[in-house]
Copies of this chain bind each other. A is one copy, B any other.
Amino acid sequence: MTMNRQAFLDHRFLGCQQEPQDAGIWVFGAPFDGTVTFRPGTRFGPEAMRRESIGLETYSPYQDLDLEEDMKIADLGDLDLPFGNRDGCLDLIGQTVGDIVDRGRRPFMVGGEHLVSLPAVLAVHRAHPDLCLVHFDAHTDLRAEYLGEERSHSSVIRRIWDQLGDGRIWQFGIRSGTREEFSWASGGHTTMERFRADTVSDARKALEGRPVYVTVDLDVLDPSVFAGTGTPEAGGLSFHELLEGLLGLSGLQIVGADVVELAPHYDPSGVSTAVACKVMRELLLLMGRCV
């Protein structure tokens, strides 16, 4: 079989063309949206990002780094999740992240709804008991329970806190939640900056030398720049504000990361998907700078 496979298009995230054994970061998609109460569709996020990422350059003028020239990244594809079975989905995600960590690689997950971060963070936590979380989001995600259910997208950070405890979680850009959630957070359980992400440098100092997981719920961005999400919430960060927040983490030991909550169908212009890809590129490159 000598036919030239070079002539055929690849189907992996931009610049993630390494074979797994050669790569230090393993990207995978977790297309799960099973606990969404309002507008579903984040299950289509990873595939849309893979497809549209070719509109981007591999080079970032913000960081002067290139996904192909300066990094070693593999794309494993999307997990084949047992739809309708929430706990089975979360278990498979947790096992996958556990496997990646066990092999000495760092995971980069693409959601899916935010609940997918729960098993991923917990799997990384098992390998890094002093793990801290940096959380960009429009929503608090701190409900004790939601509609009688403890494991939902509205409770994901609260469930992570159950394991990590006080003083481990930094939240940025938060602008929506119940009075109880804001009140609970301000009781010292998490460090929350409302509306903006201007205090990342404070977090950075506190996180120096500790293993960090970064979770970016893309709806932290203003809906003007990121319309493709289930619950758009006005008054968010501009792309530059989020980028500055992320770059403010430069030099930390990022042991895992994810970007979640792109629901591409709600933005027929494709801009949300393009923005998600660019955030992902910058976050991947940041992991390159941070090791």
Cα of A238 to Cα of B176 in the assembled complex, Å: 18
Per the bound structure, the CA–CA distance linking A61 and B142 in Å amounts to 15
Count how many chain A residues have C-beta atoms less than 8 Å from C-beta atoms of the other chain.
88
Interface status of A166 (Cβ within 8 A of chain B):
no
Q: Per-position contact with B for A57-73: 1 when CB-CB < 8 Å, else 0?
A: 10101001010010000
Pairwise interchain contact B228-A225, C-beta atoms closer than 8 A: no
- How near does chain B come to A84, taking the closest CB pair, in angstroms? 4
CB contact between A243 and one of B20, B194, B235 (< 8 Å): that residue: B235
Please determine whether A269 and B8 come into contact, CB atoms closer than 8 angstroms. Answer: no
Q: Does A198 contact B (CB under 8 A)?
A: no
Residue pair A223, B61 in contact (C-beta under 8 Å): no
Give the residue name and chain of the B residue nearest to A65 (CB): B179
**Contact across chains for B82 and A147 when beta carbons are under 8 A apart:** yes
Task: Give the contacting residue for A231; candidates B11, B34, B55, B61; CB below 8 A.
Answer: B55
Q: Which residues of B contact A82 (CB under 8 A)?
A: 147-149
Contact A267 B266 (CB under 8 A): no
Question: Would A3 and B99 count as touching, CB distance under 8 A?
Answer: yes
Smallest beta-carbon distance A11→chain B, Å: 5
A258 at interface, CB cutoff 8 A: no
Contact B222–A61 (Cβ < 8 Å): no
- Tell me whether A275 is interfacial, beta carbon within 8 Å: yes
For residue A28, CB closer than 8 A to chain B, the reply is yes
Whether A194 pairs with B61 at a CB distance below 8 angstroms is yes
Give per-residue flags for A8-40: 1 if the beta carbon is below 8 A from chain B beta carbons, else 0.
Answer: 111100000000110000001100011111111
A274: chain B residues at CB < 8 Å are 223, 231-234
Point out residues on A near B: beta carbons under 8 Å. 1, 3, 5-11, 20-21, 28-29, 33-41, 43, 47, 51, 54-57, 59, 61, 64, 66, 69, 76-80, 82-86, 92, 96, 99, 103, 147-149, 152, 174-179, 182, 194-195, 222-225, 227-228, 230-235, 238-240, 243, 265-271, 274-275, 278-279
Q: What are 10 A-B contacts defined by CB distance under 8 Å?
A: A7-B80, A9-B29, A9-B78, A9-B79, A39-B55, A84-B86, A223-B271, A225-B234, A234-B239, A268-B269
